[in-house]
């Protein structure tokens, strides 16, 4: 009895899912022009923020190759959204814009770029400290040690001669 109910329930579910799948896509997803435009605008804004963050990270010397690939992919999806919007396919336009937006947000592109910028700035600071300041301190240390050694050797040399030069 239980198996029979399960089979009937599964059959009803199958028939209903088939009827939903056979509906035209325009009936299933009626996306308005305003919704598509809003999603495209949000994706463009996020893409702009991410591009600026990646550009700043790149300027600071960070390796942003992986982020550029994500930006390229998101930009491609956004271009497809613009094309679909211009031909009047609002559902596809919104879907492509959502893909672009999700790609940027789920991969934390802006925050990863900011973190790379911060670590590159730190690396540049420590590189400066070691290379420039370290070299200056080393040069001063060599001069001071050389002078001290000269004073010590000069005193010893003048003592050995009996004070006469």
> Residue range 113-139: average pLDDT?
84
Q: What confidence tens digit (pLDDT) does each residue in 48-101 have?
A: 999 999 999 999 888 899 999 999 999 999 999 999 999 999 999 999 999 999
What are the tokens at 29?
């997803």
Q: How confident is the model at residue 129 (pLDDT cuts 50, 70, 90)?
A: confident
DSSP element (H, E) containing 73: helix 65-86
Q: At what angle do helices 65-86 and 90-106 cross, to 10 degrees?
A: 170
Average pLDDT, the chain: 82
What are the tokens at 100?
């672009």
What does the alpha-carbon distance between residue 65 and residue 75 come to, in Å, rounded to a whole number? Answer: 15
Burial label for 8, CB within 10 Å (0-12, 13-18, 19+), is exposed
Give me the pLDDT at residue 130, please. 84
Q: Write phi, then psi, for 52 (nearest 5 degrees).
A: -65, -40
Whether 32 has a pLDDT exceeding 90, the answer reads: no
Q: Residue 160: how many CB atoms within 10 A of its CB? A: 8
Whether 26 has a pLDDT exceeding 80, the answer reads: no
156/17: higher pLDDT: 156
pTM comes to 0.61
Give me the pLDDT at residue 28, please. 42
- Residue 34's SS3 state is helix
Q: Residue 111: how many CB atoms within 10 A of its CB? A: 11
Name the DSSP letter for residue 60: T
| Rounded (to 5) percent helix, strand, coil in the chain | 85, 0, 15
């Amino acid at each position: 009895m239980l198996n029979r109910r399960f089979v009937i329930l599964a059959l009803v579910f199958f028939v209903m899912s088939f009827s939903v799948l056979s509906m035209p896509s325009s009936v299933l997803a009626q996306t308005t022009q305003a919704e598509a435009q809003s999603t495209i605008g949000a994706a463009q804004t996020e893409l702009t923020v991410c591009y600026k963050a990646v550009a700043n990270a790149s300027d600071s010397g960070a390796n942003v190759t992986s982020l550029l690939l994500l930006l390229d992919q998101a930009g491609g999806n956004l271009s497809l959204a613009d094309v679909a919007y211009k031909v009047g396919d609002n559902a596809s336009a919104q879907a492509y814009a959502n893909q672009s937006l999700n790609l940027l947000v789920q991969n934390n592109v802006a925050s990863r770029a900011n973190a790379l910028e911060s670590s590159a700035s730190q690396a540049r600071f420590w590189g400066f400290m070691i290379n420039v300041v370290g070299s200056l301190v080393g040069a001063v240390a060599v001069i001071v040690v050389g002078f001290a050694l000269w004073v010590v050797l000069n005193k010893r040399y003048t003592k050995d001669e009996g004070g006469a030069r």
